[in-house]
Chains A and B, each alone.
Chain A
């Protein structure tokens, strides 16, 4: 409680007259973690979710530029996110600091695709850094297939053709993790990697998904009868 009080002391609540004077475009989410269940209001011009309540406005920081978009906001957050991602240990849990951070960034926008596009941009910017790409794939694994669809499949597909065998291996594990019909179609359409151990892994995954798809098909036919 003490920490929260300090935060509000730093950013005192706005008075009703001040709230009326703040233009939607002049608002930027400062700390979305204060989301308290108040129904947020979408500002489609900037892509930023804002709230009408004064409680929400206390957590916003006024910015001078009027055309501040969510895309710019995400770009501003990039160094912080990259730092978090590089230090994260994804081996034990699906809920960690990086996934929580990203979920909050995603909650803050009305255009959910902004975050997908941002992740694709991050991949392209850091594609020479194998460790970064592996961490990015491990992070995507923590979310459901539909959460970042279709970008998640695009990124995994790109990573299967990355120059590093380790990245390829991580991408194949991610495809196996999803193990759905989209992945099966993707594997059918693409050639297996040339490196023998990766080829072995690729064929094992493809074979396993083929069997899984057949079981699903059988079941669909049985239930349909």
Chain B
């Protein structure tokens, strides 16, 4: 299994081993780092979409693919936690890597550093255009639970309007998971 972790490439590209810029890029919440599990049963872009839908704005993202065996080898543990992403079927694909101290954080930064050296094969770049197209597709399939009347979803509504103008109008009356404007 692979774990997808979103990274800011500018903090890893051309940087040395355990450079502060890279280590501090790994922002923790309650001593844990959020990652998405890829087991081959879903598409990679599903993970990208599940992540971006938790954010306010659509933006291109780069993810590093961490093999779970690498974490096991370094005694790093996972803690399963469902995501609150509106992409319903992807919610169980979320988990956390536990990093109780800076020691574990540096172990993880070391793993990512090594992987990043071969970024062509170990990193996945999700473009904003691909994410928007996939969002449109999954919304039309009623796979996304979203309230477009909510102020926090206005940017996503703008994206859907933009995609509808080029890819066809969605019949919102058939979508039971969507509250349309």
Contact = CB atoms under 8 A, between A and B. Distances in A.
A205 interface: yes
Contacts of B119: 196-197, 200
Given A94-B155, A169-B10, A212 B133 contact: yes
Interface size bracket, B side: 20 to 34
B128 A173 contact: yes
Contact of A196 (B60, B120, B129, B130): B120
Contacts of A216: 166-167
A189 B13 CA distance: 26
A40 to B, nearest CB: 28
Contacts of A205: 60, 127, 129
A94 B123 CA distance: 28
Interface in B45-90: 56-57, 59-60, 62
Contacts, number: 62
B168 A209 contact: no
B13 A179 contact: no
Which of the four size classes fits the interface of chain A? 20 to 34
A219 interface: yes
A94 B57 contact: yes
A165 interface: yes
B165 to A, nearest CB: 10
Nearest to A142: B57
Contact of B125 (A92, A165, A201, A215): A201
Given A196-B119, A204-B125, A179 B132 contact: yes
Contact of B13 (A165, A208, A211, A215): A165
Contacts of B60: 173, 176-177, 201, 205
A200 B133 contact: no
Nearest to A177: B128
B9 interface: yes
Contacts of A204: 125, 127
B47 to A, nearest CB: 16
B40 interface: no
A166 interface: yes
A17 interface: no
Contacts of A165: 10, 13-14
B10 A176 contact: no
A70 B62 CA distance: 42
A208 B133 CA distance: 10
7 contacts: A92-B56, A93-B56, A165-B10, A204-B125, A204-B127, A212-B133, A219-B167
User: When A and B form their complex, which 4 residue pairs have the shortest distance between CB atoms, in order from nearest?
Assistant: A179-B129, A208-B127, A204-B125, A208-B129
Given A176-B60, A177-B128, A212-B133, 13 more contacts: A165-B14, A169-B9, A173-B60, A176-B128, A177-B60, A179-B128, A179-B132, A197-B119, A209-B127, A211-B130, A215-B167, A216-B166, A216-B167
